[in-house]
């Protein structure tokens, strides 16, 4: 049996995608910019099923056990498979197994990583390169817009045309350009109760949403420049402002969405304090309570030593900028 296995990382948004102008096609209201991670990955193995007419979709619970995927995961994968099959005109039934190295559905971009892994694995299974130019657009059509960015490594903007808001993701700089660390404080490993999709749909009901959209193009330009110049102070200022703004929009949407928990605020406060003491550190938060603490490699050990003293954090994941999806020689079945 010929198997294809791919590992694809999650990403952390520095400028957040929040709100859609076309729900059917997952087209955003604003351009976003993220850093692809290294250790938070989804793995996916797929192979043609020799017998049967329907797909077999499995979830790996531990290194030796595969179980049938739960209905939500199964539906999401089946829907995306339909898109991939039509695009690549490849219709054989498949056996697919997938797993994550980090908490699923907790706001650490597991959908982005998972759909990116599936998209790349399917393309390779059909004989295409893992760098096929359609992969970003295809991953986005899974319904998880941020998956469009996970097919590339380093610092990634999506869509590439920030004015027309069209086109696939593009890499702004590779990971080795600025190998920032991301210390992820997992405040809550449970599946979040309000999905990003609900947040995207509610965003425009916030009275502050249009003001946000007006200001974003300039913030994106400034952040892009800060990354290219490795200017940490500017990056820190923009990234924290952006994180607070995303949650301010969520909290003022109808119905309001509150992702933060007490520990979220405690980490934000400690990070600001450490920065005022001269350390290169800042924080951002996607749609969940978990905090991504970004810092330079040099300051990372000292910052972690301080932050781990805080209470209310279930676990830490020590991650950093990474290179994007890769083919694996080890398979899940
Ligand atoms: O791609 P989605 O639908 O899971 O939405 C992602 C939303 C944020 O993580 C909050 C922002 C982003 O750009 O990743």
The pLDDT tens digits of the residues spanning 161-196 come to 999 999 999 999 999 999 999 999 999 988 888 999
Find how far residue 47's CA is from the centre of its chain. 26
What is the H or E stretch that residue 20 is in? strand 20-22
Neighbours of 68 (CB within 10 A): 11
Q: How many helices (H) and strands (E) does the chain have?
A: 9, 14
CA–CA distance, 141 with 131 (Å, rounded to integer): 17
- Ligand 1 atom at shortest distance from the alpha carbon of 147: 1
CB 16 less than 6 A from any atom of ligand 1: yes
pLDDT in tens, 212-254: 999 999 999 999 999 999 999 999 999 999 999 999 999 999 9
Q: Which two tokens stand for residue 99?
A: 């797993």
- For residues 56 and 96, the answer to whether their CB atoms sit within 8 Å is yes
- Is residue 36 very low, low, confident or very high in pLDDT (cuts 50, 70, 90)? very high
CB 243 less than 6 A from any atom of ligand 1: no
CB 32 less than 6 A from any atom of ligand 1: yes
pLDDT in tens, 273-317: 999 999 999 999 999 999 999 999 999 999 999 999 999 999 999
Candidates 108, 1, 38, 66; CA nearest to 297 is 38
Strands 94-100 and 56-62: parallel
CA of 286 to the centre of ligand 1 (A): 7
Instruction: Report yes or no on whether pTM surpasses 0.85.
Output: yes
pLDDT in tens, 137-153: 999 999 999 999 999 99
The mean of the pLDDT values for the chain is 96
CB 151 less than 6 A from any atom of ligand 1: no
CA-nearest residue, atom 4 of ligand 1: 144
Pocket-testing residue among 286, 288, 291, 292, ligand 1, by greatest number of atoms within 8 A of Cβ: 286
CA of 277 to the centre of ligand 1 (A): 32
Mean pLDDT for the stretch of residues 89-95:
96
Residue 317 has a pLDDT of 97
Mean pLDDT for the stretch of residues 54-71:
92
Which residues, in sequence order, are CB contacts of 216 under 8 Å at separation 6+?
15, 30, 31
- For residues 161 and 167, the answer to whether their CB atoms sit within 8 Å is yes
Domain 181-320, second-level architecture? 2-Layer Sandwich (3.30)
By residue count, the chain amounts to 333
| φ, ψ for residue 286, nearest 5 deg | -85, -155
CA of 108 to the centre of ligand 1 (A): 9
CA dihedral 211, 217, 223, 226 (to 10 degrees): -130
CA–CA distance, 130 with 155 (Å, rounded to integer): 18
- Is residue 10 very low, low, confident or very high in pLDDT (cuts 50, 70, 90)? very high
CA of 70 to the centre of ligand 1 (A): 22
CA–CA distance, 216 with 96 (Å, rounded to integer): 39
Can you give the residue ranges of every domain in the chain?
A: 3-175, 181-320
- Is residue 27 very low, low, confident or very high in pLDDT (cuts 50, 70, 90)? very high
Candidates 324, 331, 326, 332; CA nearest to 148 is 324
Pocket-testing residue among 16, 150, 239, ligand 1, by greatest number of atoms within 8 A of Cβ: 16
Per DSSP, the three-state class of 143 is coil
CB 149 less than 6 A from any atom of ligand 1: no
Candidates 104, 129, 126, 106; CA nearest to 115 is 104
- Is residue 1 very low, low, confident or very high in pLDDT (cuts 50, 70, 90)? confident
CA of 199 to the centre of ligand 1 (A): 9
CA–CA distance, 71 with 97 (Å, rounded to integer): 14
- The CATH number of domain 3-175 is 3.40.50.10490: no
CA-nearest residue, atom 5 of ligand 1: 196
CA–CA distance, 289 with 35 (Å, rounded to integer): 19
């Amino acid at each position: 049996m010929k198997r294809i296995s791919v590992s694809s990382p999650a990403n952390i948004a520095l400028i957040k995608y929040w709100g859609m102008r076309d729900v059917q096609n997952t087209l955003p209201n604003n351009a976003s910019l993220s850093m692809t991670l290294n250790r938070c990955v989804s793995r996916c193995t797929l192979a043609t099923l020799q017998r049967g007419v329907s797909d077999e979709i499995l979830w790996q619970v531990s290194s030796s056990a595969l179980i049938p995927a739960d209905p939500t995961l199964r539906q999401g994968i089946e829907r995306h498979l339909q898109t991939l099959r039509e695009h690549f005109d490849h219709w054989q039934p498949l056996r697919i197994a997938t797993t994550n190295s980090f908490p699923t559905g907790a706001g650490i971009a597991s959908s982005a990583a998972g759909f990116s892994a599936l998209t790349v694995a399917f393309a390779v299974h059909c004989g295409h390169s893992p760098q096929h130019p359609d992969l970003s657009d295809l991953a986005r059509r899974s319904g998880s817009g941020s998956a469009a960015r996970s097919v590339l490594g380093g610092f990634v903007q999506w869509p590439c045309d920030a004015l027309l808001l069209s086109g696939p993701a593009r890499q702004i700089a590779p990971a080795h350009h600025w190998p920032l660390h991301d210390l992820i404080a997992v405040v809550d490993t449970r599946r979040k109760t309000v999905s990003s999709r609900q947040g995207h749909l509610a965003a425009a009901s916030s009275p502050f949403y249009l003001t946000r959209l007006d200001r974003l193009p300039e913030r994106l330009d400034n952040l892009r420049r800060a990354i290219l110049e490795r200017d940490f102070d500017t990056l820190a200022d923009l990234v924290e402002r952006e994180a607070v703004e995303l949650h301010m929009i969520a909290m003022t949407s109808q119905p309001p969405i509150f992702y933060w928990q007490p520990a979220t605020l405690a980490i934000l406060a400690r990070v600001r304090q450490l920065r005022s003491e001269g350390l290169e550190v800042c924080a951002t938060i996607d749609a969940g309570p978990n905090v991504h603490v970004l810092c330079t490699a040099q300051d990372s050990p000292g910052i972690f030593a301080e932050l781990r003293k805080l209470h209310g954090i279930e676990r830490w994941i020590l991650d950093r900028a990474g290179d994007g999806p890769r083919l694996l020689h080890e398979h899940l079945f």
